[in-house]
Amino acid sequence: MQVGFTEDQLQFRDVVSRFLKDKSPPTAVRALMDSEQGYDSEVWQQLSQEIGLLGVHLPEAYGGFGFGPIELGVIAQEMGRYLFCGPYFASAVMAGYAVLNSANEEAKERLLPEIAAGTKIAALVLDDLSDAATVGTGISASGGRLNGTAGIVVDAHVADTLIVVAGTPEGLSLYEVAPALASVTPLDAIDPTRKLSRVTFNGCAGERIAGAGVDIDLLWDQMSTVLAHEMIGGAERLFETTIEYMKMRVQFGRQIGSFQSLKHRCADLLLELELAKAMTHEAGRFMASGEGDAYSPNMAKAMASDAYLGVAKQAIQLRGGIGFTWEEDTHLWFKRAKASEMFLGSPNWHRERMMQRMEADAVRAANG
């Protein structure tokens, strides 16, 4: 089993990392989080056209590059590290996977190449971002008409098209809706680097694009795995800057990093981060190959959330007063950690989900 990354994957990471370091410094992040659009159109175009990150996980037949969850994870980890602002997660990951998994051939051929090229931004509308099991209870579709509300939708405010998971008498189905037909209301987000809206459908027309039912568990695992990568990237960055600060900051005549009470806390954080990272990379491998631990996507999202927030809290605490100021950059990552903790299921939700899956597998094994 390949545990680490291949040479090609490491080189790819370096390319992505260099690009984002250059295009997404904290000054750019601050400018974008205050803007209405929330992303830089020029960077978006370079990201999609020049280095082709949007279609990395999509098949070549649909304009993608035919790689998979591991390479997507590499991108997400670097985006988390540099707090990239833009509809990448909403369009390429959430909507991209939903269409790829569940749309009919015509819709895939029409939508995926544009998502991969970045010429069309899609937003995935889920009526519940906390629990996969209740998706489809808030938005229903009947006779080509949609009704209901999604309380929180990522990047719907800039979407060219809305991909909607709706409940129908036959189960979950996939619809495409023109944003102009829906009511899209931007919301104030605790993490202004990820823009959120409320989306309401009042009997508006939608095109049913599902080729089959929507496997919400698969989609949730795919999204959670990518999100976990984004979170450990952010956690790594915050941890590194905190360690640097502790080497520089002097109190009581010594670097504060020399105090055992503080350095031991950092050792604990490193352990938590390393474990979360190991599990997140396992989830990437499992989603890519089906080999490895089937519960790893749940474990990864839970561990990455706990580790990111754990690091973020200490990143502020260890900086003392300066860490609580607007001027210092730490709060940008803290807020991403906080918002991501609940996004796509809390750590508790993922642990409970993992237990249910383990029990179901144990029963299945017992019944032969």
Partner 1 sequence: MVDHPNLSYDEIYKDVDAWLQEHWDVSRGLAAWREILVEGGWAAPTWPEEYYGRNFSIEQAGAVNQAFDDHGAVGVAQGGPGRLASHTILVHGTDAQKKKYLRPILTGEASWCQLFSEPGSGSDLAGLATKAEKDGDRWVMNGQKVWNTSAHHADFGILVARSDWDVPKHQGISYFLINMRQPGVEVRPLRQMNGHASFNEVFMADAEVLAEDLLGAEGEGWKIAATTLSAERQGFGGDRSGGKVKDLPGPIYAEYRDELAIALEPYTWYPQRAGRVDLVMPRAMETGAISDPHVRQELAKLIAMKKASDLAAASAVQKRRAGNSNVIPEGSIGKLAASVIARQASHVHTLVSGTDSMLKGADSPMDGVIAEILISVPAISIAGGTDEIQKNIISERVLELPKEPRFDTGPFRDVPRNLADI
Q: Given the complex with partner 1, which of 194 and 277 has the nearer CB atom? A: 277
Provide CB contacts within 8 A for 107, sequence distance 6+: 99, 176, 209, 211
Q: What's the N-to-C CA distance of the chain in angstroms?
A: 27
Based on CB atoms, which residue is closest to partner 1, 3 or 180? Answer: 3
Residues near partner 1 (CB under 8 A) are 1, 3-4, 243, 246-247, 254-255, 257-260, 263-264, 266-268, 270-271, 274-279, 281-282, 293, 296, 299, 302-303, 348, 351-352, 354-355, 358-359, 362
User: Cβ closer to partner 1: 31 or 362?
Assistant: 362
Looking at the Cβ atoms of 15 and 267, the one nearer to partner 1 is 267
Tokens 């568990």, residue located: 217
Q: How far is the CB of 257 from partner 1 (least distance, A)?
A: 4
CB 341 within 8 A of CB 333: no
Minimum distance from residue 109 beta carbon to partner 1 (Å)? 39
Which residue type does 165 have?
V
In 3D space, the residue among 208, 131, 193 whose CA is nearest the CA of residue 163 turns out to be 208
Q: How far is the CB of 196 from partner 1 (least distance, A)?
A: 28
- Tell me how far, at minimum, the Cβ of 57 lies from partner 1, in Å: 23
| Partners of 171 in beta bridges | 168
Query: What is the distance between the alpha carbons of residues 152 and 197, in angstroms, rounded to a whole number?
Result: 6
Amino acid at site 46: Q
Q: Least CB distance from residue 350 to partner 1, whole Å?
A: 8
Residue whose CB is less far from partner 1, 27 or 260: 260
CB 175 within 8 A of CB 225: no
CB-based contact 247:257 (threshold 8 Å): yes
CB of 272 to partner 1, least distance (A): 9
The DSSP annotation for 131-175 comes to -GGGTTSSEEEETTEEEEEEEEEETGGG-SEEEEEEEETTEEEEE
In whole angstroms, how close is the CB of 367 to partner 1 at the nearest point?
A: 15
Token pair belonging to 251:
């109190």
Place of tokens 């997400």: 76
Report the Cα 172 to chain-centroid distance in Å: 22
H-assigned helices in the chain: 7-23, 26-34, 41-45, 69-81, 96-102, 105-117, 216-248, 260-289, 296-317, 330-342, 347-366
Rank residues 335 and 351 by Cβ distance to partner 1 and give the closer one.
351
12 Cβ contact partners less than 8 Å away, ≥ 6 residues apart: 71, 74
- Which CB, 208 or 351, lies closer to partner 1? 351
Minimum gap (Å) between residue 356 Cβ and partner 1? 9
Q: With respect to partner 1, which residue has the nearer C-beta, 165 or 256?
A: 256
